[in-house]
Every structure is written in C-alpha cells, then in structure tokens.
Amino acid sequence: MQQLLQQAQKMQQDLARAQEELAATLVDGQAGGGLVKATVTGSGELRGLEIDPKAVDPEDTETLADLIVAAVQAANENAQQLQQTKLGPLAQGMGGMPGLGF
C-alpha cells in the first residue's frame, strides 16, 4: 500500500511539473494565410496577437474579427494537442483517479 501511495505521489509531482512546463511553453496559431497570428501558452492563455496591416480594412472590421477569432482558436487547438502529448501519458498513469479531472 505504501508503494502504491508513493507511486501516486510521484505521478502527481510529474503531472504538476508537466503543467508548469505547459504554462511556460508558447504555441502559435494563424488565420488568413498568416495575416493574423495568435500566441497562447500551452495551457491556453492568450499571450500575443499580431495583425498584418493588410488585414485591416476600416470598412470591414467583421472580417478582421473573424480572423482574430480563428487565429486564437487555432492556437488553442495547438495548445490542446500539446497538452495531450505532455499530460496524456501521465493522466493514463493515474488510472482516472477521482478528483484529478481526467
């Protein structure tokens, strides 16, 4: 029983370390052929947004808004893939333990 508890504690530490790495990792997404680029952390926090001046049309702000949303969504999808890569094996190792959100 003690060994099982130690293994669970080690997995929790590994999971916490992986989550810290995700929070520090930057992931990009883009839309409109690169006219709008979004940068998020591996945990999904928006950190940056680049808008090419060619994407700015004062008569059509709706398209720009759509491009921004698409770029942020693309960056978040990339962040989710990174999360699966980093956290997936750890979550499986936890065996779906209650209270861990997996």
Residue 38 CA to its chain's centroid (Å): 12
Give pTM, 2 decimals.
0.72
Kindly list the strands in the beta sheet with 46-51, ordered across the sheet, starting from the edge strand earlier in the chain.
26-31, 36-41, 46-51
Q: How do residues 41-85 score in pLDDT, each as one tens digit?
A: 988 899 999 999 999 999 999 999 999 999 999 999 999 999 888
User: Which pLDDT band holds residue 97 (cuts at 50, 70, 90)?
Assistant: very low
C-alpha–C-alpha distance, residues 56 and 74, integer Å:
20
User: Which pLDDT band holds residue 92 (cuts at 50, 70, 90)?
Assistant: low
Domain ranges of the chain: 23-87
In the three-class reduction of DSSP (H, G, I as helix; E, B as strand; rest coil), residue 53 is classed as helix
Q: How do residues 9-46 score in pLDDT, each as one tens digit?
A: 888 888 888 888 888 999 999 999 999 999 999 888 99
| Superfamily the domain 23-87 falls into | Nucleoid-associated protein YbaB-like domain (3.30.1310.10)
In the three-class reduction of DSSP (H, G, I as helix; E, B as strand; rest coil), residue 49 is classed as strand
